[in-house]
Amino acid sequence: MRAEQKRNAQTGPVEARPADGKREQSGISFPYVDLDTAIAVARDIQQIGGQSCEAEQLAGLWRISAAGGNFRARYAPARTFGLLTAEKGSFTLTALGMRIVDRTQEAAARVDAFLNVPLYKAVYEKYRNYQLPGTPALEGEMVRLGVVPKQKGLARQVFLRSARQAGFFWAGEDRLVRPNVAASAGPAPETLRQEAADGASISAQSPPRFGGGGSGTGGYHPFIEGLLQTLPEPGTVWTVEGRAAWLRAAAQNFTLIYQGEGKIDIEATSPNSTKGVGQ
């Protein structure tokens, strides 16, 4: 029993106990919580010790017992995403974990962390060139991959949130498209705002530039470059629904690279319809 519990904490599969009392365990690993929540664990470790800390230190920060199941449940997802290792009562950020707490490398590290989850990578590989199916079909595919049927709803919900947080929905919420990010995305937005406050010149004629760290030649943030590359050629026919989808993807990317509260609603209305097409 102890060996089984230890294995669960390491890999992060979700267990379900059916009515007959027999334990069911998913045959493929996936986290209980989304990517942002796992990154918060990595940032807590960084706050305590830079790259590593003791279990009792992390539990103390969280104000819970290091010997309880709640503690294991809280750090286990970060391990499933590949952000930390746990050994002999201590936690150490992996190379991926160190990248993800570095603002200049976070965007690319989020992509790698998402694909580090076996379930997420399997779904991505199956649908990378296709539209995602509806809820019943997606949950059915997850069950086929090894998710316990009673946990398919949770697995799907956390998967979709994590995909959004990793930037895979930049081209629309109906398909997984890998973001165009490099290992380093240049200075963080906070740095740019400080430079502007100190008198740095930022052109109002173009999107914000992120130094020379972008993956393309324009010097824009990689998310912005990825959006620009999907624009149709001038003069071509582009439906209003397609334009709205592009704008919604842009709004999602703004949420990832800028700070601020609020929500952007984008609606498209075609000449042949009296009903708007929204999010």
* pLDDT of the residue at 45: 93
Mind giving me the DSSP string for 51-105? Answer: TEEEHHHHHHHHTS-TTSHHHHHHHHHHHHTTSEEEETTEEEE-HHHHHHTSTTT
* pLDDT of the residue at 219: 52
Question: pLDDT of the chain along its 279 residues, tens only?
Answer: 444 444 443 444 444 444 444 556 778 899 989 999 999 999 999 999 898 999 999 989 999 998 888 888 999 999 999 999 988 889 999 999 999 999 999 999 999 999 999 999 999 999 988 999 999 999 999 999 999 999 999 999 999 999 999 999 998 888 999 998 864 444 444 443 444 444 443 333 444 444 334 434 445 666 676 667 677 777 677 777 777 777 877 777 777 677 777 778 787 776 655 444 444
Q: Which amino acid is at 232?
A: P
Q: 69-80 vs 55-62: helix axis angle to the nearest 10?
A: 110
Domains and CATH numbers, the chain: 2-100 (1.10.10)
Residue whose structure tokens are 């709004």: 251
Residue 136 in tokens = 């019943």
d(CA 95, CA 68): 28
Q: Kindly report the pTM of this predicted structure.
A: 0.60
- Strand-pairing partners, residue 16, are 24
Q: Strand 24-25 and strand 15-16: pairing?
A: antiparallel
d(CA 200, CA 26): 53
